[in-house]
Amino acid sequence: MTPFNPGYSDREELLRLGFASVGANVRIARNCTIIGFERIWIGDNVRIDGPTTIVVAEGSHLEIGSFVHVSGGCHLCASAPLKLEDFSGLSQGVRIFTATDDYSGRTLTNPMVPARFKRVLTDNVTIGRHVIVGAGTVILPGASIGEGSSIGALSLVSRPMPAWSVCAGTPCAAIKARKTDLLALEKKLLSEHSAEARWLNEG
């Protein structure tokens, strides 16, 4: 650790902190704010850059697959279950919310108001395999993103997005189909990764 560079926690340190599960080659920047260690499951080959904020409420959980990257300045709010599947990625400043206050004016709002005076809406969010989310995008409760889709920067995702689509806008909408060429590259990467693991185990 050096001035202006707090460094990253590795798998061993994260397990000591109390994460539910941590795979191989996982690194999380030490300037992240994380609440709910024991409700977070992480696969292999994951990096979370700081300063990212992750809040996992009691009764909920966060699942992060393998080969996942979360860029700096993201905010992941898992009041309801949140899942980032394999090979997904969040660019800088992405916000994912699984709960929202009622903005209609019928109830009071904000976390400091007792629950009986509020109407909080919650819903799961899943970021599918091979999804890439552009910088500054906001994803609202229930707005899961189908496998293989890309979301343009500064989009507002307020409803589910279809698989293998290029999506963008406020509100976000599918614009055209996204190519599936990357699936062949996934197979090659996993094959090489598996061969390397066998070689290390046999050695």
Q: Is residue 2 part of a domain?
A: no
CB atoms within 10 A of CB 132: 18
Q: How confident is the model at residue 1 (pLDDT cuts 50, 70, 90)?
A: low
Q: Is residue 1 part of a domain?
A: no
The radius of gyration of the chain's CA atoms, rounded to the nearest angstrom, is 18
Q: What is the pLDDT of residues 159-195, one digit of tens each?
A: 999 999 999 999 999 999 999 999 999 999 999 888 7
Residue 194: per-residue pLDDT: 80
Alpha carbon distances (Å) from 147 to 118, 120, 150:
34, 28, 9
Alpha carbon distances (Å) from 102 to 58, 112, 113, 114, 159:
21, 15, 13, 14, 17
CB atoms within 10 A of CB 103: 9
CATH of the domain at 56: 2.160.10.10
Print the domain residue range for 87: 8-202
Residue 190: per-residue pLDDT: 92
Q: What is the mean pLDDT of residues 3-21?
A: 95
Q: Is residue 113 part of a domain?
A: yes
Q: What is the pLDDT of residues 116-153, one digit of tens each?
A: 999 999 999 999 999 999 999 999 999 999 999 999 99
Per the structure, the count of domains in the chain is 1
Q: Is residue 49 part of a domain?
A: yes
Q: What is the mean pLDDT of residues 69-85?
A: 98
Q: Is residue 148 part of a domain?
A: yes
Q: What is the mean pLDDT of residues 199-203?
A: 60
| pLDDT at 43 exceeding the cut of 70 | yes
| pLDDT at 200 exceeding the cut of 80 | no
